[in-house]
């Protein structure tokens, strides 16, 4: 099973070190790293060429934002299964992609997801939040549940039949996409009860108060668009994050 890992990046520089190291350490034998660079000017492409995955496919060109870059990367991918690895994220261990491949041996499953740790930006060993996702049930969507997006791996057929990311969203295109795939797309997901990804805090959705407000507006738009609830769903989605600051992995 060939797994394509897509990274959309612009001026990521040496921040990519952890992501690249974790990807190169994977034990799964058939991995493709599709890198879509948005026209970096800080030496990102040179760093990628020097330290990237042996099966890296790098293209650098201006894009219309993060979701446009991701969409272009997905279109370029040649794998049976496609997932994302952001520049600030790392795969939590060398067996993560093997877990994905093993779970997707079940032909009735369209995709998989797992747990996520948010870690300090300067110290990946310091866990700030632990997101234990739990098994998927469609009724949970109305209560603000969603799979941790960085851990989500989907068969290529999902994007063919249910579409890519909506680039009209600037921050919540991942939430909109997941709601679409899980409702009208009728995607069947399996849960891997392991931490799959470690994510450094300080991303686009929580970098400033203004961006947090924009994210809530876009989340609400996605909730209404896919008919999974209303303001109560948005509130539940935001409140569900609070226990993640006190819960720790067993």
pTM of the model: 0.95
Tell me what the mean pLDDT of segment 103-115 comes to: 98
Within a domain: residue 11? yes
Confidence of residue 187 (pLDDT cuts 50, 70, 90): very high
pLDDT at 165 over 80: yes
Within a domain: residue 250? no
Within a domain: residue 100? yes
Reported as type and span, the H/E element at residue 117 is strand 111-120
Within a domain: residue 68? yes
DSSP string spanning 60-106?
Answer: E---SSHHHHHHHHHHH--SSEEEE--TTEEESSTTHHHHHHHHTTS
Q: What is the CATH number of the domain that holds 80?
A: 3.90.550.10
pLDDT at 250 over 70: no
Within a domain: residue 183? yes
- The pLDDT tens digits for 88-106 are 999 999 999 999 999 999 9
**Cα–chain-centroid distance for residue 134?**
17
Q: Which domain holds residue 174?
A: 3-245
Within a domain: residue 59? yes
| Lowest-pLDDT choice from 26-30, 143-147, 173-177, 209-213 | 209-213
Identify the three-state secondary structure at position 137. Answer: coil
Within a domain: residue 77? yes
Mean predicted lDDT score pLDDT of the chain: 95
Question: How many domains in the chain?
Answer: 1
Within a domain: residue 202? yes
């Amino acid at each position: 099973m060939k797994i394509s890992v897509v990274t959309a990046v612009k001026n990521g520089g040496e921040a990519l070190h952890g992501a690249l190291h974790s990807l190169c350490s994977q034990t799964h034998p058939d991995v493709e790293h599709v890198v879509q660079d948005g026209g970096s000017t800080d030496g990102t492409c040179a760093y990628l060429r020097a330290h990237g995955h042996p099966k890296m496919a790098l293209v650098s060109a201006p894009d219309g934002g993060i979701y446009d870059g991701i969409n272009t990367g997905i279109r370029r991918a040649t794998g049976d299964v496609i997932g994302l690895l952001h520049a600030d994220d790392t795969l939590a261990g060398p067996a993560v992609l093997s877990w994905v491949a093993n779970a997707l041996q079940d032909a009735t499953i369209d995709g998989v997801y797992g747990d996520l740790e948010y870690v300090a930006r300067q110290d990946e060993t310091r866990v700030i939040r632990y997101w234990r996702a739990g098994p998927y049930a469609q009724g949970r969507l109305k209560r603000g549940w969603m799979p941790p997006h960085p851990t989500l791996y989907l068969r290529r057929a999902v994007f063919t039949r249910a579409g890519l990311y909506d680039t009209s969203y600037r921050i919540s295109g991942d939430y909109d996409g997941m709601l679409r795939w899980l409702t009208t797309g009728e995607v069947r997901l399996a849960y891997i009860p392991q931490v799959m990804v470690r994510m450094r805090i300080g991303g686009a959705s929580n970098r400033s108060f203004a961006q947090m407000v924009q994210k809530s507006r876009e989340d609400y738009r996605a909730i209404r668009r896919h008919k999974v609830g209303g303001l109560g769903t948005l509130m539940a989605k935001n409140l569900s994050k609070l226990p993640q600051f006190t819960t720790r992995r067993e």
